[in-house]
Amino acid sequence: MAKQGKREFALTASGYEYDKELARLSVKVFPALQALIANQHDLIEISKTHAPEKSIFLEAHLAELVEVEETIAKEYAKHCAKREELKMKRQNKDKIVKDMPQPEEKNNLQYGYDEHVKETEALLDEAANRMSPGLPSARFATSPRPSVKQEDKDIRRIAIGASIKALSALLGRKLNEQELSVIESQVDSYL
């Protein structure tokens, strides 16, 4: 049988015995906890007016509630300080990068190399432009746009192909020439 660790207990201001191991956990201040703290303040004020004989308990409860709020405030201050520190580090890093001397473009081109990594094709194009600046080669010329009639033929071909495929899949066999001509005429009538 494994031996369990000995738990240490301590008392709060109101006499509540708490577990020190659990006290080491950092808790996120989620919305329900924020609402609980606000509601406890209201509840203490209501209880003071209706049960003044229990004011000692209420004062101890209020002291613990204030301690919770102070702990949350300290953790929030730490969180803001860390966030500000990260922001400053980022700004310093950006400033260092901007302050670094940039290589001169002309000097690099004189020696035949460029500091920036470029693809072979782009480097060859740049070299050709330096040697003979002029009209672009035929491979850079824009291709003529296809006519509207060619697009109609493509739509027709696609529609006929899809119809043939669907019907042959439905029948489970290849279609004969007569069935193919019927499909073509039907597609033409719809287009």
What are the phi and psi torsion angles at 184 (to 5°)?
-60, -45
Q: DSSP code of 8? A: P
Nearest-10 Cα torsion for 25, 31, 33, 39: 170
Q: Could you give the CA distance from residue 166 to residue 172 in angstroms, rounded to a whole number?
A: 10
The answer for residues whose C-beta is within 8 angstroms of residue 7's C-beta and 6 or more apart is 19, 20, 21
AA letter at 176? N
Domain ranges for the chain, please list them.
9-99, 155-190
Helix spans in 100-147 (H) = 105-110, 120-131
Contacts for 114 with CB less than 8 Å, ≥ 6 apart: 108, 123, 126
Do the Cβ atoms of 10 and 20 come closer than 8 Å? yes
Token reading at 108: 């690099």
Q: Would you state the pLDDT for residue 107? A: 47
Ordered per-residue pLDDT tens for the chain, 191 residues: 444 556 666 777 667 777 777 777 777 888 888 888 888 888 888 888 888 787 888 888 888 888 888 888 888 888 889 999 999 988 888 777 776 665 554 444 455 555 556 677 777 777 777 776 565 555 555 665 655 555 555 788 888 888 888 888 888 889 898 988 888 888 888 77
